[in-house]
Amino acid sequence: MNKESLVQQAFDLAAERYAAIGVDVNQAMDKLQKISLSLHCWQADDVTGFENPDGSLSGGIQVTGNYPGKARNMEEVRADILKATSFIPGSHRLSLHEIYGDFGGKKVDRDEVEPIHFQSWMEWAKEHNLKLDFNSTSFSHPKSGNLTLANPDPAIRNFWIEHTKRCRAVSEAMGAYQNDPCIMNLWIHDGSKEVPASRIKYRQILKEALDEIFSTPYENMKDCIEAKLFGIGLESYTVGSYDFYLGYGAKNNKIVTLDTGHFHLTESIADKISSMLLFTPEIMLHVSRPIRWDSDHVVILGDDLLDLSREIIRCDALDRVHVGLDYFDATINRIGAYVIGSRATQKAFMQALLEPSAQLAEYEEKDQLFQRLALQEELKSMPWQAVWDYFCYKNNVPVGEDYIAEIQKYENEVTFKRG
C-alpha cells in the first residue's frame, strides 16, 4: 500500500473516532485552512536586512550560530521564503522589518523611508499569494543607543518618531495594495542596565511619543504595540513593559502584541488571552520558544503552545487573534527552522480545533468535573496526527517527515553554494 493510501485510510479511521465524540474533522480542517501565519522574514538572514548588510546587530538583538547558506540579498531571502512556504500547508503572510526595504543600493535613512521602497515587495507578495505585515526597526542604528522613542534628547526622539510615522504610512500603502489590513508592530528596546532615577520619566516621554505617532488615523493598517521583559545590556528597566503597553492599548484601542518569549518562563501566556480580549480590540501573537528568557529558539509542539492554541479556540477568537512567528536560529538550516516552527504551530491549532468543546462545556455546566478531566486526558491520545497528515496531503505539501529530504536537497543544490 502506498503512502497516499495509508494517509487516506488513517484519516478515515480518525474521522470515525472523532465523530464518536462529536467532532467533525472536516470542519476542523476548514478552520485551520483559514489560519494564516505571519512568517518572519528575518529567519532567512539572521536579522541582517538590506540597509547595511555588513552591519552588526545592536539594541537588544542577538543571533547565535553561523550555519552555512544564509541569504545574502533580497533575491535569496525571497527564494528561501518561497521554498519554506512550499512545505507549509495553507496560505500565509510575510512580516517585514523596515530594514528589508528595496533601497536599490542607495542610502536611505530610517526617517526617510517611503512606500516606494516596498513596492517591489507588494508586487512580489501578490504574485505569490502572500499578504504583508510590517515592523518599525529601532535597533542596529547609530542613533539606537539605549533609548529611542523614550529618549529625552528631542533630536534623537524626533528621528525615531518620524521613522515610526513613516512605517505606519508604508503599512497603510501595503494594506491598500493588498486589500487587506497590514498589521504594523511597534517594538523598541529602550531601557537601562541599572534602575533609573525615575522610571516614570521615560514612560511619560514614550507615552507622548506614541500619542504623536498615532495621531494620524489610517484605514488599511492596524497598529500593535509589543512589550519586552528586558533587553541585553538593559536588564534592570524596560520602558515599554507589558504593563505599560497593556494600559496604553486598553485606553487607546490598540492591539497588544504578546511575544511568547518576552515573559518569565513560568508565566502562562494562554491565561492572558481571555482577559485581554475583554479590553483590547485584537491580539497579535509572536510565537517563539524561550529556553532562558528571550532566546528565540525554533518553535516546537510543546505544552505551552498547545495551551495557547486551545485558549484561542475556546474563546472563539480566531477572528481577533493574529498569529505571527518570531525566532531566529542560525545554528541549523534556516529554511528548516521556518518549516519546523510553522508546522508545529499549525499542529497545535489542529489539536485545539479537534477538541469536543460542546461536550466539555456540558460536563462543566453539570459540575461533572471528573468527566471533564478524563475526556481532556483521553484527547491526548486521539489520532489527531492522521488528520494533520491528511491536511498536508490535501494542501499538496509533504506529509510527515518527507520535507526533510526536500530541504536537504535545496541545501545541497542552492544554499550551500552561497559561500
- Catalytic positions are 187, 226, 228, 259, 262, 286, 294, 296, 326
Long-range CB contact pairs, 116-125, < 8 A, 24+: 117/170, 118/170, 118/173, 118/174, 121/96, 121/174, 122/173, 122/174, 122/177, 122/178, 124/78, 125/94, 125/178
C-alpha cell at 330: 542560525
Burial class (CB in 10 A: 0-12, 13-18, 19+), 211: exposed
Distance CA 101, CA 117 (A): 5
Among 256, 410, 285, smallest CA distance to 345 is for: 285
Residues 282/322, Cβ–Cβ less than 8 Å: yes
C-alpha cell at 225: 504595540
Please state the φ and ψ torsions of residue 340, each to the nearest 5 degrees. -60, -50
Distance CA 277, CA 246 (A): 11
